[in-house]
Structure 1
Amino acid sequence: MEEMRDPRLGTVRLFLKHDDNKARKLRYNLGHPRVLSFGGAYSGHLRALARAGMEHGFETIGVVRGEEHLPLNPSLAYARACGMRLTYLDRAAYRLKHTPQVLDGLRETFGDVAILPEGGSNAAAVRGCAELPGEIDLDYDVICCPVGTGGTLAGIAAGLPDGKRALGFAVLKGAGFLNDEVARLQREAYGAVSGNWAISLDYHFGGYAKTSPLLDAAFEQVYVAKMIYGILDLAGRGAFAPGTRVVAVITGQLSTPVVSWGTPTGLDSGDPR
């Protein structure tokens, strides 16, 4: 945990908590000898699943959105080096990945397999992420996190003490559907929606993986930098009450280029998406 100082914060105090949310989302999802999941070509979830399979001795299968491109990018090359079997769905089929037709076809191809959703976001992932607030040992008012599939925000909000709230920053354009998704995940995990969270839809910078010179180069650009910009902008606009103490969950590494994502024998503990 470290404090970030910026004149745009005014009297708001911002603390950065570095956290491997991918490990949290997998924690209660593992235990089957063969696990399959979905992701894009730079999916941090697939990398984390591949590493877990290598370390704990179970098979992993990654279903990648789009066509295969060789040579593999560093992310998919890492997953394969960890022992993950890669297969591909074209974008039209990938949009139907949750349907019985696609899921039954994958089970027919790969046999007895546990299937995790894209990003690993399900009820078990929510329970893993709900443990994060209990590990913060300073007084705070708001926890912020980037939002891709909604699992991390759903869990953090569910694990908050009374009087605290969570604010997510969507990294997707047109991501209003995430409000329903976070609510669904909380209902599946705990039977109710906590009501202590919100999602900002205004800091996607054009959509997933889109970047801008406005984003702080010290932070991972797809997720984290957008959240940091959003927090600073909201603080500058007076959206936080004076003296508010904000914790930002940093799910990526600082200033880490794609090519240094580690090797199968030395994965960094962070989540460089």
Structure 2
Amino acid sequence: MIEDIHSFLDLEKPVNTQKIDLSPFVKTNCELYLLREDEIHPFVSGNKFRKLKYNISQALSEGVDTLLTFGGAYSNHIAAVAAAGKLVGLKTIGVIRGEELSEKISENPTLSFAKKEGMKLHFITRDNFKLKETAAFLAALRQKLGAFYLIPEGGTNALAVKGCEEILTSQNEVIDYICAPVGTGGTIAGLIEASKANQKVVGFSALKGTFQTTEVKKYTSKTNFTILDDYCFGGYAKIDLKLIRFINRFKEETGIPLDPIYTGKMMYGIVDLLKNGYFKENSRIFAIHTGGLQGILGMNQRLHKKNLPQIKV
């Protein structure tokens, strides 16, 4: 068992930047590079590692022995917190949206993984889940479950944004556009804060709407960004045959697996924007693969029920 944050950080693997051959997808003079944040760690990968490392450091410095967070049935964040807690010797509690899921843990690859990693799963109604940020609800959780270090749903807070700032390095200064999937807004907030004035950050919302802009503005005063929801495919965790085919073709052409919730939608969006002349000619585009590959198994279960093709891993 690893008992300190330094040992946890030592698990981080060097991150590769892979140039993508765009010729199978679009004719363009732009260059696209994909940062393989998904390779950081098998279970605490991508932006989840970035968001958690300073939060875990803070929890350890406070002497708290339990992490508590929130998530849905197939949450990458829930899986990552469970795995990270086990690595550093902290207990973990996942407050899960939907009481009915308590009877389906064994059928759900994300929840069964979290449980295997030692996470205590606490199921609540969807109405109560909406109260997760209220003082009264959190006080009731502490009375019921004991003391804990709170990590918000999706992991976004000031410490998470600090971690995500480290995604960009001095080697990225020659990049014109920085692209990233957007969920709660923490990752893109860090990228914006670390970006240069001559760079534009483009976020691809995995959900309907661009409400994350409000969250982003809590952490940065920079305005060199835009968030698009044109490629959310109807909303969070919603996909169709067109996206499935793109993800599988991308895997065949590049050897890189994409998750269907975040990075798959972003890559589809980048290719479509290239087709439509969104990026300036001869631009260098830097995209972030935020991991989330653990969610493919659960998604494939849902696709099978709908008689749709499977996503290749």
- Which amino acid is the alignment partner of residue 24 of structure 1? R
**Cα-to-partner distance string for 1:78-117 (whole Å, 9 max, x where unaligned):** 1111111000121111111111121111111122111111
Could you tell me whether the CA contact under 8 Å between 1:96 and 1:102 is conserved in 2? yes
Could you tell me whether the CA contact under 8 Å between 2:76 and 2:295 is conserved in 1? no
1:64 aligns with 2:103: no
- Deviation (angstroms), 1:253: 6.5
Write the distance in 1 (CA, Å) between the matches of 2:215 and 2:47: 18
- Which amino acid is the alignment partner of residue 140 of structure 1? I
- Deviation (angstroms), 1:225: 1.1
In the other structure, the counterpart of 2:41 is none
Identity %: 40
**Cα-to-partner distance string for 1:123-159 (whole Å, 9 max, x where unaligned):** 1000000011117457311111110110100011111
**Residue 145 and residue 93 in structure 1: after superposition, are their counterparts in 2 closer, same or farther (change >3 A)?**
same
- Deviation (angstroms), 1:37: 0.3
Could you tell me whether the CA contact under 8 Å between 1:50 and 1:79 is conserved in 2? yes
Greater helix share, 1 or 2? Answer: 2
Write the distance in 2 (CA, Å) between the matches of 1:50 and 1:255: 13
- Which amino acid is the alignment partner of residue 17 of structure 1? L
In the other structure, the counterpart of 2:129 is 94
In the other structure, the counterpart of 2:150 is 115
Unaligned runs of 5+ in 1: 187-191, 260-273
- Structure number with the bigger relative contact order (C-alpha 8 A, sep ≥ 6) is 1
Unaligned runs of 5+ in 2: 1-16, 38-45, 252-257, 299-313
- Which amino acid is the alignment partner of residue 230 of structure 2? D
**Cα-to-partner distance string for 1:206-232 (whole Å, 9 max, x where unaligned):** 111111222222321111111011111
**Residue 146 and residue 69 in structure 1: after superposition, are their counterparts in 2 closer, same or farther (change >3 A)?**
farther
In the other structure, the counterpart of 1:129 is 164
Q: TM-score, normalised by structure 1?
A: 0.87
In the other structure, the counterpart of 1:84 is 119
In the other structure, the counterpart of 1:25 is 51
Write the distance in 2 (CA, Å) between the matches of 1:235 and 1:52: 37
Correspondence for 1:201 among 220, 229, 239: 229
- Secondary structure (helix, strand or coil) at the match of 1:133 reads coil
- More off after superposition, 244-253 vs 203-212: 244-253
Correspondence for 1:41 among 43, 52, 73: 73
- Which amino acid is the alignment partner of residue 5 of structure 1? D
1:162 aligns with 2:197: yes
Q: How many residue pairs were aligned?
A: 253
